[in-house]
Amino acid sequence: MNAIRITLADAQPVFREGIKSMLLAHQDVTIVSEASNTPELLDQLSLYCPDMLILDYNPLYFDNEAIQKILNTQRDCRVIILSSQEKRSTIFKALELNVCSYLTKECSRQDLYKAIRSAARGEKYFCSFIVDVLLEDKVSPSRDRLASHYLTERETLVTRLVALGKVNKEIAYELNLSPHTIHTHRKNIMKKLGLHSAVDLTNYAKETGIVH
C-alpha cells in the first residue's frame, strides 16, 4: 500500500519536528512538505498535492478563508486540525468547514494516528475534548449560538431575506449576485441546518432572532 503523503502546517518548527518524530514509527505515512504560514502552505499544496493536511488552526497564521480555499482547490486533500485553540466558537467555525478531524495539542500520538487512518478512509475522528464539546452542544443547544456558528454572514443574510418572503431572483438583485449563486447558498444553508423547506427555514430564522 502506498504511504499516505502528508503536508504539515504549523508556525512552530519545534512542534513540526515533534509530529514528524511521532510519525516515523509508521511506515504507511510520510511528511512530504511543511509550511509555517498561509502563503507557504498554498505553495506547498500546489507543488506536492498531498493526500492529507495536518494543520494548526491558528488565525494568526492559518485562517478560515485559507482552509476554505484549500478545501476548494485540493478536493482530494483531507484536513486534520491539530490545534491549541479550545474556544467553543473557534471549534465550531473549524467544524463548519467540514474538516475530517479536530484534535487538541494535548491529545496523544495514538489519537493523531487514529485521526490519520480515519481520514484516509474518509471518516471523521475527534478527540475526547471535541466530542465533549459536541455532546454538550447537542444536549443543551443555544439557538443564537447555532445561528452564529453554523451560518456565515452571507448565509445569515440570505436566510433573513428568505424568511421575509423574497424569492431567489429578488434576493439576487438585492445582493448583486446571480440567482444560481443564491440557489447554491440556500442549498448549503438547508444542508447545514438539516432543514427541508422555506417554511422550516423561516421558522428557524424566527426562533434564532435572524428575523423578528
**Per residue in 163-211, pLDDT tens?**
999 999 999 998 888 999 999 999 988 888 878 888 888 888 887 778 8
Whole-number Å distance between alpha carbons of 171 and 178: 9
**Contact indicator for 12, 37 with CB cutoff of 8 Å:** no
Task: Please state which of the ranges 42-46, 77-81, 94-98, 187-191 shows the lowest mean pLDDT.
Answer: 94-98
Whole-number Å distance between alpha carbons of 29 and 174: 50
Distance of CA 146 to the CA centre of its chain: 15
pLDDT at 140: 47
Question: What count of other Cβ atoms lies within 10 Å of the Cβ of residue 164?
Answer: 13
Which residue, 187, 157, 190, is CA-closest to 172?
157
pLDDT exceeds cutoff 70 at 148:
no
Task: Name all domains of the chain by residue range, CATH numbers in brackets.
Answer: 4-137 (3.40.50.2300), 143-208 (1.10.10.10)
Q: pLDDT higher for 99 or 95?
A: 99
How high does pLDDT run on average in the chain?
Answer: 84
Percent residues over pLDDT 90 in the chain: 37
pLDDT in tens, 116-134: 999 999 888 888 888 877 7
pLDDT exceeds cutoff 60 at 150:
yes
CA dist 95 to 60, 107, 212, Å? 18, 18, 28
pLDDT exceeds cutoff 70 at 54:
yes
Query: What's the pLDDT band for 156 if we cut at 50, 70, 90?
Result: confident
pLDDT at 145: 45
